[in-house]
Amino acid sequence: MKLRSHYIFSTGLLALFNSMIIHEFYINLFISSIISVISNSLIDRIGHEIKGPYIARSPRTHTIPRSIIWGIIPSIILIVISEILVTIIFETDYSFETYFVCIFLDGIIVGPSHMLLDVFTEKGIYVKKNNHWNRFAIAHFKYNNPIINGIAILCGIIMLYYSFLLSSISSL
């Protein structure tokens, strides 16, 4: 999938998840978009190798367990600076612990959400079988297929919309 599809899909998924914990949409959108952009960028930039004229995925980041690790790294950095964000910028009633849990869980979720989209592409993701990395793909679509990327983006937008609705309903 295209990187922007990963960004929007993961942002929507994380914002929807966050809206069940923190009922302020714009804070959820801020947190989820930062984690989504940084984590998805790391997964693709570190996990792609140039082989001649082609760019290939590697098991360095394109496995479910390793994608979780690459998703947690930006979350930990955001947790460190989130106390400053919570107290100075946002001035919310939520405790630091609430943000800590939300951000850490976002880090766990973002990597597998990246793998969820990539498993539908022709190159798929890596799974370990008999001590050897094998590719696994469900649908074998090209990574730049506009229809499949559009569906992923639309799903992300729908999840953002429902996140907004949940936040609006919870704040009443």
Query: Across the chain, what does the average pLDDT equal?
Result: 89
9-18, 26-35, 44-53, 72-81: which has the minimum mean pLDDT? 44-53
What SS3 class is residue 48?
strand
Beta carbons of 39 and 10 less than 8 angstroms apart: yes
| Stated pTM of the model | 0.90
Which residues contact residue 121 at a Cβ distance below 8 angstroms, ignoring those fewer than 6 apart?
1, 137, 139, 140, 141, 142, 143, 148
CA distance 105 to 11: 13
| Identity at 154, one-letter amino acid code | L
What per-residue confidence (pLDDT) applies to 36?
A: 97
Read off the pLDDT of residues 157-170 as tens digits, 9 standing for 90 and up: 999 999 999 988 87
pLDDT at 42 over 90: yes
pLDDT at 88 over 90: no
CA atoms of 115 and 25, how far apart (whole Å): 26
Contact 103, 83 (CB under 8 A): no
Q: List, for residues 110-151, the tens digit of each pLDDT value.
A: 999 999 999 999 989 999 888 888 999 999 999 999 999 999
Sign of CA dihedral 57, 62, 63, 65: positive
